[in-house]
Structure 1
Amino acid sequence: MIEKINLENVLFLDIETVPEQENFTLLDEETKLLYDLKTQYQRKDGQSPDEFYERAGIWAEFGKIICLSVGYFTFKGDIRHFRVTSFHGDEIKILKDFNNLLNNHFNQPQHILCGHNAKEFDFPFMARRMIINNIAIPPKLNLFGKKPWEVPHIDTMELWKFGDFKSYTSLRLLTKILGIPSPKGDIDGSQVGHVYYVEKDIDRIVTYCEKDVIAVAQILLRMRREDLLIDEEIIHV
């Protein structure tokens, strides 16, 4: 089935998220309580909500998007390129710019969104943050009333599961076993909040996010038994 997909119709994406506030003390008292209740079963024994706040970015109710990177294939004869770009900074602007991209360029029935673990994380996180920020959800993210086969999403982790619902395979592990250059650079997901709030280095985060998008595209190519992208084919715009 995936061999029949026209790669030019696929928009690959990844998001980076952080806690909505730099630290727990900046939350109002009700939000502190709600975070305490939300995370009570995730925290280790004796671990306070304050100590666990660095993980807040994984929940749309307590986190925010600081970078959204996308990539797409273009073909001109035998020449193949993979173009990568990023939206970063203010979350509302990120979401609106991404909305415009979808509505203007990836709004047809044949268009598909693709990410790694995106059905569980990226897609719902973006939709929830759009609701929170009073932004209309684009049709490609609005799944209400859609049948499973009508959902225009590909998840490379789901493809790798082959129906095995108890398995989680990280992007790093999957690229390793498939012989794909690792997307990981000098930071990992657990460090994004520190790089954003303390080091204030959004460029490092953008680079990290774009590498993940490229890795997802490489995985799909590998599953289709096609040649992997080489550096000369990747264009950052």
Structure 2
Amino acid sequence: MLDKIHLQNILFLDIETVPEVHKFNELDETTQSLFADKTAYQRKEDVSPEEFYHRAGIWAEFGKIVCISVGYFVIKNDIRQFRTTSFFGDEIKILQDFTNLLQNHFNSPQVVLCGHNIKEFDLPFIGRRMIIHGLEIPNKLNSIGKKPWEIPHLDTMELWKFGDYKHFTALKLLTHILGISSPKDDIDGSQVAEIYYVENDIDRIIIYCEKDVLAVAQVLLKFKRLPILTNDEVISV
């Protein structure tokens, strides 16, 4: 299957999310109660919803997207480039800009979206936030009513599972065992909220997000038995 998918027909993506507001006490009472109910099964008895709120960014109901990074291959005359770009700022604008990219440049039937654990996290999160904001879900994201083989999504974590549905492998581990530079050499996902709300350093988050996109592309090249990218082949646009 992978051999039939051309690199130029793959849009790699990753998202970074944070709690929708900085502090638990900034939520209204109803939302606080709903968050407590939602996380009750995960929290230990001695951990309050307020203490657990730093993890709110993993749920679309209580989090928001602060960055979507994408990457794609451009191959001309046997010269290979991997170009990355990011959308950031107001969440509605992030989602609209990402939709415009999909509709105007990556909407052909041959194009597939690729990421690590995107079927369980990135794509559902994007779709849910679009619904919350009243935005139209682009065709490439909309899986409602489609058969599994009709959904143009490629998940490197799912590929690594080889059908083992109880198996989870983090991107950091997968890159390590495949001999790929780690995308987590500066920060990891647990630090994004503090960097966003406390340090106000969106540029650092963008760099981190684009590194994840590049790492996924490198992993897929390994799956396809192709040489991984060199630094000279990677361009941020």
* Bin of the TM-score, shorter chain as denominator length: over 0.9
Indicate yes or no: 2:95 matched with 1:87: no
Taking the aligned partners of 1:129 and 1:185, their CA distance within structure 2 comes to 29
**CA deviation digits over 1:72-99, x for unaligned, max 9?**
0000011000000000111000000000
- Give 1:46 shift: 1.1
1:127-142 aligned at under 5 Å gives the runs 127-142=127-142
1:60-139 aligned at under 5 Å gives the runs 60-139=60-139
SS in 1 for 2:182: coil
Match of 2:163 in 1: 163
Taking the aligned partners of 1:38 and 1:62, their CA distance within structure 2 comes to 10
- Give 1:212 shift: 0.1
Taking the aligned partners of 1:7 and 1:133, their CA distance within structure 2 comes to 33
Taking the aligned partners of 1:145 and 1:164, their CA distance within structure 2 comes to 25
Taking the aligned partners of 1:10 and 1:147, their CA distance within structure 2 comes to 20
Match of 1:217 in 2: 217
- Structure 2: give runs of 5+ residues left out of the alignment: none
Taking the aligned partners of 1:102 and 1:185, their CA distance within structure 2 comes to 30
Match of 1:31 in 2: 31
Runs of 4+ off more than 6 Å: none
Match of 2:187 in 1: 187
- Give 1:44 shift: 1.5
SS in 2 for 1:67: strand
Aligned-residue RMSD, C-alpha:
0.5
Counterpart AA for 1:100: N
Taking the aligned partners of 1:78 and 1:124, their CA distance within structure 2 comes to 36
Counterpart AA for 1:99: T
Taking the aligned partners of 1:57 and 1:9, their CA distance within structure 2 comes to 30
Taking the aligned partners of 2:122 and 2:67, their CA distance within structure 1 comes to 12
Taking the aligned partners of 2:74 and 2:187, their CA distance within structure 1 comes to 29
SS in 1 for 2:53: helix
Counterpart AA for 1:105: H
Match of 2:150 in 1: 150
- Structure 1: give runs of 5+ residues left out of the alignment: none
- Give 1:185 shift: 2.5
Taking the aligned partners of 2:134 and 2:74, their CA distance within structure 1 comes to 33
Counterpart AA for 2:210: E
